[in-house]
Amino acid sequence: MDRIEGTSVGDGVLLTDLDNDAQLSITGGRLARGAGYDGAPRSTRHSLARTGAIIRLRQKHRYYLHASGVVDQNGRALLFVGESGAGKSTLAFGLARHGWSLLGDDGVVLEPIANDIVVHGWRSPVLVSLNLESMFPEIAAHRSCAMAGDARRRVPVRTGMTARARLAGLVFVEQGAPGHLRACSESQAMLALIRQSPWVLLGDGSSASHFAALRDIATSVPLYDFRHGPAELERLGELFPSGADVSTEQRMHS
């Protein structure tokens, strides 16, 4: 995976791929190729352009978050936030099987509007590990599409998509046992949000509004901490029923 460093330069941002010494700058909302860009591998150019798009959105008060998102039958978005490998995509796909629609697999864009938070989808197929074939037997049909060199043996699976929805809750996830679903504090939520939206630390002219947006998000919706394993995946539709409020730890142990 390419490692990209962002540096504030005047009113703009300079992105540098540390592995391939390629650069892309964003000034006044415009992307400009820098040293080493044209000769860099395609994957590097793609990563730089993707990060550049995230920075441009940020300058328009839309903030990318590393999360998966699903939307219930009432049009309310629930986001699963966590580190790579925490099970975000698995949880999103699991709820899609229970009638939710997908908003984003590995990322979404948050936009504060008036007293609301709108979540925009970052369109891509959900990636599900073939290791979960016993629980999700339909993914066996996608074996031939397994990502080369991927230790998690993930395959892309298409599900129903939603372009945007109102944010109704954040669920901070990790894999492990015993499972739990309980309230998360605002301070814990802020730390997790900053880790999964790291451009807030860039120090450019958009950092203050970015931080304020994350703070507003952490204080405006229910926050939950969810540790999950196979037992919780089997009960996912019960733990997060479409159209109902986000479950509490009481539901976890019912």
Q: Where are the domains of the chain?
A: 4-60, 64-252
Predicted local distance difference test score (pLDDT) of residue 245 = 67
Q: What's the confidence (pLDDT) of residue 165?
A: 96
| Percent of the residues in the chain that have a pLDDT greater than 90, as a whole number | 65
Residue 159 binned pLDDT confidence (cut-offs 50, 70, 90): confident
Q: What pLDDT, on the 0 to 100 scale, is given for residue 180?
A: 94
Mean pLDDT, residues 201-208 taken together: 89
pLDDT grade for 29, boundaries at 50, 70 and 90: confident
The overall average pLDDT reported for the chain is 89
| Nearest of 195, 184, 251, 194 to residue 219 by alpha carbon | 184
Answer yes or no: is pLDDT of 172 > 60.
yes
User: What confidence tier does 156 reach under pLDDT thresholds 50, 70, 90?
Assistant: confident
Q: Which residue has the higher pLDDT, 11 or 249?
A: 11
Does the pLDDT of residue 253 top 50, yes or no? no
CA proximity to 87, closest of 250, 216, 230, 253: 230
pLDDT confidence band for 179 (50 / 70 / 90): very high
pLDDT band (50, 70, 90) for residue 246:
low
CA distance 152 to 130: 8
- Tell me what pLDDT residue 196 has: 96
* Residue whose token pair is 């019912």: 254
Confidence band (pLDDT; 50, 70, 90) for 1? Answer: very low
| Count of Cβ atoms closer than 10 Å to residue 55 Cβ | 22
- pLDDT on residue 44: 94
pLDDT on residue 9: 85
Q: Tell me the HSE value of 188 on the side-chain side, using a 13 A CA sphere.
A: 15
